[in-house]
Amino acid sequence: MQHELNAKIRESYNSLPKNHRKIADYMIENSERVAFLNVQDISKATGASVASVVRFAQRIGFSGFSEIREEAANNLQNHLQHNHRFPLIETEDLADVFTTVANQDIKNINETLHLINNQDFKKAVRLIKDADRVYTSGLGISFLLSRMLSYQLMQVGIDACPYKHDYTTFLEQALLLKNNDLVIVFSFPPYSKETIDLAKFAYERGNKVIAISNKPAAPATFHAEMSLIVKSENLIYTNSIAAITVLINAITTECALQDKQKAKHMLKDLEKIAHNQNLVIE
């Protein structure tokens, strides 16, 4: 997308020294991430010193990098509010809403099949199975998706738990992460800063992180061992969850198939509990 920040960078680009052009290239290519990064992140990603990043900001008209980040955040917020609230309503024939929505979800699923190759899918499952415990997280619709993944993993014998968003923050809960715990973050527009901060915190302390998001340049992917990209286009401003739930179901199914005995034992125990409590397993 065309940010005002990108325009300012381009205006000064030809007059920038070589090391500053590398910073400029990075910021343009990762414009949606800049709002979630600090000066040290930019320094590490570009190989430039912290002082060079600050001087770059001043050369293109800002007082420092914090002012760049503030403008990037405002650009991102305005873009989400004004350009993406109803991305399909103005372009689709809505005479038959049910068919239109169904076709969009079919398109999301088909595109997701091309975005996630089998090697990445298998790697994600391997990370889940190798972890001592799997934590899932997200806010908004992503909170429900994180609970869904944890629930289904638990059903096939994987120790999984969703981070709650109540009296403690994600970062406070993450203080209890053990070395071999895995964090899976769901991050879809508008991207939650708390979720991204959790991914960054876990990743920097050495925990494996899987980001499930809608595009390779989504902010959370910057702080992840690997990313699974899922299309979530919708008629309205919320994200469609059809393709995401397909991915969740596929991950859980693959985990069960790779350890059938464990999954069978778990099912037997669940049936026993259900029988003792007069419940019905669905």
Cα gap 92→81, rounded to integer Å: 20
pLDDT at 259 over 70: yes
Residues 93-120: what's their mean pLDDT? Answer: 88
Cα gap 271→212, rounded to integer Å: 32
State the DSSP H helix or E strand holding residue 10, giving kind and residue range, or none if neither.
Answer: helix 4-13
Amino acid occupying residue 20: H
pLDDT at 88 over 70: no
Model pTM score: 0.73
Q: 59: pLDDT confidence band, cut at 50, 70 and 90? A: very high
Phi, psi (degrees; rounded to nearest 5) at 95? -60, -35
Residue 190 confidence (pLDDT)? 84
Please list the residue range(s) of the chain that carry CATH number 3.40.50.10490. 97-257
Q: 88 and 233 in contact (C-beta within 8 Å)?
A: yes
**97-257 maps to CATH 1.10.3720.10:** no
Q: What CATH architecture does domain 4-82 belong to?
A: Orthogonal Bundle (1.10)
Residue 91 confidence (pLDDT)? 52
Q: Which 8-state DSSP code applies to residue 36?
A: G
Whether residue 190 is preceded by a cis peptide bond, meaning omega within 30 degrees of 0, is: yes
Vertex 183 angle, CA 131 and 40, to 5°: 125
pLDDT in tens, 166-178: 889 999 999 999 9
